[in-house]
Amino acid sequence: MSSTPAGAARTPTVVLGGTGYVAGELLRLIAGHPHLELRAVMSEGSSGEPLAVAFPHLVSAYPQTCFSALTEVARLLAETPGAALFSAAPHGVSAGLIESLLAASARSGSRARVVDISADFRYPTSEAYAAVYGHAHGAPALLKDFSCALPEHLAELRTAHVGHPGCFATAVLLAAVPLLALGLVEPALYVSGVTGSTGSGRKPVEGTHHPLRHGDLYGYNILAHRHAPEIVACARAASGVEAELAFVPHSGPFARGIHVTVQARLTRTLDGAQARGALQEYYARAPFVRVSERAPHIKEVAASNYAHLSAAANGRTIAVMCAIDNLVKGAAGGAVQWMNRMLSLPETAGLTQPAPGWT
């Protein structure tokens, strides 16, 4: 990664919801980013505690940094023009925090930019959000100020802020949107996906308990996953096509990564080489998407912001496979990619580190 030239200004950066896995990945990426400078990490429950208590692996990057309370962060944003604000706060909490902090920022004219990684700004209306999450939206007046899309699927951002799609949604959309946008398939998608245990969050639950998850593979929320309506909505916005979705998610026996397979009926005869060629052309200007004949492997993308795709077709049916890291491309890395664009930085800034390969 390139370094910032001496004297060059770095964008003051704030992270909300600071003790979770996604927040930890944001902090790791910010530590190596040439244009972002961490100013505060908000966690009411851990206010005053060193970051290294929650994230011992980040002590070399943040040896003295402590978690801040909401009042401290609000004061900082009110005094800091042009800050970058990432929210990794929980669903249902993030919207209210963002609303209060944007109000503090607006009062001083400092105009913070926001990327929210929760689900709070993934739907265009409060009714659509409530239908999926079962409670009222925390800041409905702000919905008009957020777009929800992957950077690869929205050429021009027309809102001040972004709601990043979920990790499963990211993988499915990368595979499915070109098929729909190019009219290659009938609008009925059949998706099978496998996710690592970090997708369940930091708080231990039965689904992440190592003796139960290790060496096992099982489906959950079959045909009823809460990301399904989000995938349909984002696919419609990106492609202009209303698609049906049958989604079967699985829990895999690994910590990080997602692998999805999207199947659909072709509208015209294609072979595998032609299908991969269509994907390559669609993503020709997408620096983090790689399409190849080789089937994607999670180990080749884990801990990176890259997405690997491949496709097979037998004339009437197509299968597109996509592998991403759920915490990076599916969350923190995708959010940094968006913030780079919002700040008119190179889209790849701070994100080109390759996967370690042996996670």
Structural domain boundaries of the chain? 11-148, 167-328
Task: Please report the sign of the dihedral spanned by the C-alpha atoms of residue 334, residue 336, residue 341, residue 342.
Answer: positive
What distance in Å separates the CA atoms of residue 20 and residue 5, rounded to the nearest whole number? Answer: 32
User: Is 234 one of the annotated active-site residues of the chain?
Assistant: no
Query: Structure pTM?
Result: 0.95
**Parts of the chain with a pLDDT under 50:** 1-7
**CATH code, residues 167-328:** 3.30.360.10
CA atoms of 225 and 219, how far apart (whole Å): 11
CA dist., res. 152 & res. 123, Å (int): 18
Using one digit for the tens of pLDDT, what is the confidence trace for 240-278?
999 999 999 999 999 999 999 999 999 999 999 999 999
Q: How far is residue 163's CA from residue 146's CA, in Å, rounded to a whole number?
A: 6
Which pLDDT score, from 0 to 100, does residue 112 have? 94
Catalytic residue (choose from 148, 167, 234, 322): 167
Q: What is the pLDDT of residue 108?
A: 80
Strand ranges across the sheet with 11-16: 36-42, 11-16, 84-87, 113-116, 161-163, 146-148
**What are 66's two structure tokens?**
């402590």
Residue 5's pLDDT is 44
Q: Are 298 and 254 in contact (CB under 8 A)?
A: yes
* Predicted pLDDT of residue 359: 79
| pLDDT on residue 8 | 60
* DSSP β-ladder status, 146-148 and 188-195: unpaired
Instruction: State which H helix or E strand residue 155 sits in.
Output: none
Q: Chain-centre distance of CA 15, in angstroms?
A: 15
Number of alpha carbons in the 13 Å side-chain half-sphere of residue 51: 28
Give the per-residue pLDDT at 23.
96
Neighbours of 216 (CB within 10 A): 11
What are 115-134's pLDDT values in tens digits?
A: 999 999 999 999 999 999 99
Q: Give the residue among 352, 350, 355, 354 at the shortest CA–CA distance from 30.
A: 350
Asked if 26 contacts 34 with a C-beta cutoff of 8 angstroms, the reply is: no
Contact (CB, 8 A) for 324 and 307: yes
C-alpha–C-alpha distance, residues 213 and 206, integer Å: 8
| CATH number for domain 11-148, candidates 3.40.718.10, 1.10.3720.10, 2.30.42.10, 3.40.50.720 | 3.40.50.720
